[in-house]
Amino acid sequence: MNIFFPKEPEFETRVSLTLESAKKFLDKGLNISIEKSFAEHLGSSDKEFEDLGVKTLDRDQGFASAEIVCSVRNLTEDELDKINQNTLLVSFLDPFNEKPLVESIAAQGATAISMEMVPRSTRAQKMDALSSQANLAGYVTVIQASFHLPKIMPMMMTPSGTIAPARVFVIGAGVAGLQAIATAKRLGARVEAFDTRPVVAEQVQSLGAKFVEIDLGDTGQTDQGYAKELTPEQVEMQREGQKAIISQSDVVITTAQLFGRPAPQIVGRDMVESMKPGSVIIDMAVETGGNVEGSVMNEVVDINGVKVVGQGNLPGEVARNASDMYSNNLLNLVMEFWDSEAKTLNLDPEDEIIEACVITRDGAVVNETIKNIYSGG
């Protein structure tokens, strides 16, 4: 079976295959090819891949010969004409926002796996790319905050006096939020955190942070562990409950996202303006609409001396590690369904992982969640 790994668009620093993963694919008997100059920006030359047995092809050659195409970002509609019918496409497909592309993939007869749709389960966690990338994103938010903040994170006692630790408030204690909390604590900050799911309080406290309690009534989480969408009244209760903490914080990191839906705006301009000049807000949800009023994608906005950072593609800031993790996620996905005797993938539609992450198959959109959204259900 032939797997092709194309180069990513210029704005994407991550890659879908590393040298270590390439060797493991080859050891399992798969034929691997990459596009020329695939990962040179990360220090991995074409020759290093070729020395392992990986073929180097032009982009069009790779698409024409591939039975599977693995990438970080999805292909463009123009490129769909270059793949074979029944090709398997594996990427962060973003099916919630890419309806025309998904329908074009179905019309082409290709099967598409969306990596963000891999379920959160014990069996699937080794291929859960959304969580692996969110982990790194949480780390990056704190590093960015530290860079923009005009003071140090830890308490420091010197002959010249004592410096108080920075106060960091993390909103949202999912995978990214917990990593942000852990990283801020390692840097010596005083950390507080809030999440609409009270069940995560113990995890927050285990990292040495204070869990802020705001009574929102019945909230809970989905079967996949995601926060449920709040009512407008609950959003307002959250905003009121966190105002005082935000005004006293040196850094606010917002990680609140709703799977498949726009992010809730939970930090209003009045809260931003209540912070001391020199404070920093990192809006991790800026790519899905933003948690912070006034944040702008890929910009640092100054609001009365408060820096609001809206950096997109946070895992791409640590592209080497992000590529390692994503490549391993892809490897684990393929190996989970690889039939070594038949030399093919067995994508059983009844399998819970396949049912969740396969979006198109046999000329149609087959994922029930996505079908319902597309039909207006």
Rounded Cα–Cα distance for residues 357 and 349 (Å): 10
Cα torsion 288, 293, 299, 301 to 10°: value is -170
> Would you say 42 and 353 are in contact if contact means Cβ atoms under 8 Å apart?
no
Let me know if domain 133-317 sits in CATH 3.40.50.720. Answer: yes
Q: Please identify every stretch of the chain with a pLDDT value under 50, giving residue numbers as ranges.
A: none
Alpha carbon distances (Å) from 57 to 40, 294, 304: 15, 44, 52
Contact 370/96 with Cβ under 8 angstroms?
yes
Secondary structure (DSSP) of 192-256:
EEE-S-GGGHHHHHHTTPEEPP---SS--B-TTSPBPPPPHHHHHHHHHHHHHHHHH-SEEEE--
C-alpha 333/C-alpha 235 separation (Å) is: 37
The catalytic residue positions are 120, 125, 128, 131, 226
What local confidence, expressed as pLDDT, does residue 29 receive?
92
pLDDT for the residue numbered 343: 87
pLDDT digits (tens, 9 = 90+) for 105-121: 999 999 999 999 999 99
**pLDDT of res. 197:** 84
Residues 331-365 have pLDDT tens digits of: 999 999 999 888 899 999 999 999 999 999 999 99
What DSSP element (H or E) covers 90?
Answer: strand 88-92
CA angle 128, 324, 184 (to 5 degrees): 80
Q: What is the per-residue pLDDT for 238?
A: 82
The pTM score is 0.92
Dist CA 63 CA 215 (whole Å): 53
Domain with CATH 3.40.50.720 in the chain: 2-128+319-369, 133-317
Can you read off the two tokens belonging to residue 1? 């079976």
CATH number among 3.40.50.720, 3.30.300.20, 3.40.30.10, 3.20.20.100, domain 2-128+319-369 = 3.40.50.720
pLDDT at 217: 73
pLDDT of residue 377: 60
Residues 66 and 304: their CA atoms lie apart, in Å, by: 53
* Residue 317, pLDDT score: 98
Q: Which pLDDT value is given to residue 215?
A: 79
